[in-house]
Amino acid sequence: MWFVLGLLFIVFCFWALGLWLRRTEDLATYDQPLDSNGFESFSEPGGPSMEHRQAVSDIQAMAGQIKGLSHKERLKFTRAFMEDMPRGKEFSCEFVPVDVNGVRSEWVIAPGVDTSRRVLYIHGGAFIAGSPNSHRAATARFSEVANAAVLAIDYRLMPENRRIEGIEDCRTAYRWLLENGPVETSAPSHLFMGGDSAGGNLSLMMANWIRDQKLRAPDAVIALSPVADCTYSGPSIRSNLKTDTMLGPLFGILLKIPRWLLTWIYILENRMTPSNPVVSPILDDLSGLPPVLVQVSEAEMLLDDARRYVNKARAAGSPVYLQSWAGLLHVWQLFYPEVPEAREAWDQIDRFLQAVEAGKV
């Protein structure tokens, strides 16, 4: 009897502490309609393109292959799938391996770009997968639209490494980039930063950290479908589960776990609480940021991460903007140039960077 009572007491303590560790400011405050000056929405009358529908079919086929796999097998499959994404694509860029104070990276240099202009790109992959190779479609296009050399970093991934170690790699790379280019040792004339999904999370975190460290700020930040809130409190995490073709099959099972228990799982995996602003950049002070463009699909689970982040940042006076597309995949920009919506998204990034340089943002 006493054993059962003791066990129940321990479970109660873990439940209560798990709920307490999730406590944050009420982000629902930022669910209000966006300031029209900070928001654009894109859609086609006939829905997504045929090319996009083919990409969805490919992702659905991948999702079917991971059913029944163990956690270890799923990790291996996901990494292999992402590394295979550039297969068959032709690039005009030059890819140059470089050691960035111990962080393996590569320069991505489109023909004729000004290498005094630089970009730090942080790839996505749920912090467990991805590499500079897997994201060459994004980094090659970024080099073109920014007229810059892109530094794509191979930051340390979980679970082999702690979350903070990947974060430290991003910080190391940014400091290095302030003094080094692909052919010169000098400060950049223009400096941009970007990332997708997990890399979007790291980019937004970095923007806060750069401000707090009083380092030279990037001229602009591009965040593609970023994770902004690791407490996963946004309504779209659940409401868009069935429409998110990519993230739903991979992470939907986690939504069946009680939130207090999910908190403990997160802490064990990341060795930080989900409410820590280092992993949830939306929970930080969002004032004093450089121009930021966030792109997101209205069909994905991370829609409210993007919407809430932009609303909070704009309320704090930062020049942060949201562009959303109806019915698209999570990080559809990686399907450049085959998918028309990916081409449109990169064209919008191009226009945003031009507006920043013209002083119109």
Q: Is 53 helix (H, G, I), strand (E, B) or coil?
A: helix
Cα distances from 320 to residues 40, 251, 314, in angstroms, run: 12, 28, 6
Other Cβ atoms within 10 Å of 98 Cβ, number: 15
Q: Residue 278's closest CA among 128, 192, 165, 152?
A: 165
CA–CA gap between residue 22 and residue 18 (Å, rounded): 7
**318 given a catalytic annotation:** no
User: Considering 123, 233, 330, 341, which one is annotated as catalytic?
Assistant: 330
Catalytic residue selected from 298, 300, 341, 344: 300
Distance CA 148, CA 159 (A): 33
Residue in 130, 178, 176, 172 with CA at minimum distance from that of residue 154 = 130
What does the block give as tokens for 194? Answer: 């970007």
Active site residue 41: no
Sheet order of strands, 190-196 included: 39-42, 320-325, 292-297, 220-224, 190-196, 117-122, 149-153, 103-109, 94-100
Tokens standing for residue 232: 């996963």
Contact 226, 201 (CB under 8 A): yes
- 71 carries an active-site annotation: no
CA–CA distances in Å: residue 127 to residues 32, 245, 321, 332:
30, 19, 25, 18
Q: Which of 131, 197, 203, 225 is catalytic?
A: 197
User: Do residues 156 and 123 touch, judged by C-beta distance below 8 A?
Assistant: no
User: Which residues does the annotation mark as catalytic?
Assistant: 197, 300, 330
